[in-house]
Structure 1
Amino acid sequence: MAYNPEIADRVRAIIEAAGAVEQKRMMGSLAFMVDGKMAVGVSGDEVFFPVGGGEALDIALQQGAHRLQLKSGVDVPFAALTDPDDDTLAEWIGDAVARARGE
């Protein structure tokens, strides 16, 4: 599924304030890389975040995210948001950038 360019623009506007960010197209999605690690991705109308498994994913799900579903059915430790407001998006992106930087 291709990514929604309007959502990608919203993510880009927030994440570029964090400094050096590289964008990579991956299987129809757009990934935003920080220090060589994926911080945020956009696929279709969803914004997704690698959160790790276990408790981190459970916490993300309790905060309104849902598990990212791959077409292949492979289970991945990514949380996804659909149509988040700007404040929620900024908060999640800030956390994702910190995780990518190991903070």
Structure 2
Amino acid sequence: MAYDEVLAERIRDALGPDRVDAIEKKMFGGLSFMIDGNMAVAASGRGGLLARVDPNEATELLRRKSVETMTMGGREMHGWLHVGPDVIDDDAALTEWVHRSVAFARTLPRK
């Protein structure tokens, strides 16, 4: 499944001023947005959003509706969450996830 082009455009809008710094890359069937060389957020190839978050906050965030740990190749990717499409239908919710992911990516060493 290819990523959702409409969602990708909504992510661009949600990035706001950070859009200038974001580099887009097609990866894993999705479209990722890189900040300072680190993947921050992506329009998932299986629908919904991939959000990179502080691993210390992940347990709490997993309590939210339609949020699960991202799994790739049968492995759970700690600090990466798949946010279901129903959650991000709302622009405010999408913006919250995008900003959370960008803020965390900015704490990582530049690549």
**TM-score (normalizing by structure 2):** 0.79
Q: Tell me what 2:74 maps to.
A: 73
Q: Tell me what 1:98 maps to.
A: 103
- Aligned residues between the structures: 101
SS of 2:62's equivalent in the other structure is helix
Following superposition of structure 1 onto structure 2, how do residues 1-103 of structure 1 map, counting pairs within 5 Å?
A: 1-18=1-18, 19-43=20-44, 44-53=46-55, 55-64=56-65, 65-70=67-72, 72-77=73-78, 78-83=80-85, 84=88, 85-102=90-107
Counting aligned pairs with the same residue, the percent is 30
Structure 1 unmatched ranges of 5 or more = none
Provide the aligned C-alpha RMSD in A: 1.8
1:2–1:28 Cα contact (<8 Å) kept: yes
Structure 2 unmatched ranges of 5 or more = none
**TM-score (normalizing by structure 1):** 0.85
For the residues of structure 2 that align with 1:51 and 1:96, how far apart are their CA atoms?
Answer: 5
Tell me the CA shift for residue 52 of structure 1: 4.8
Runs of 4+ in 1 over 3 A off after TM superposition: none
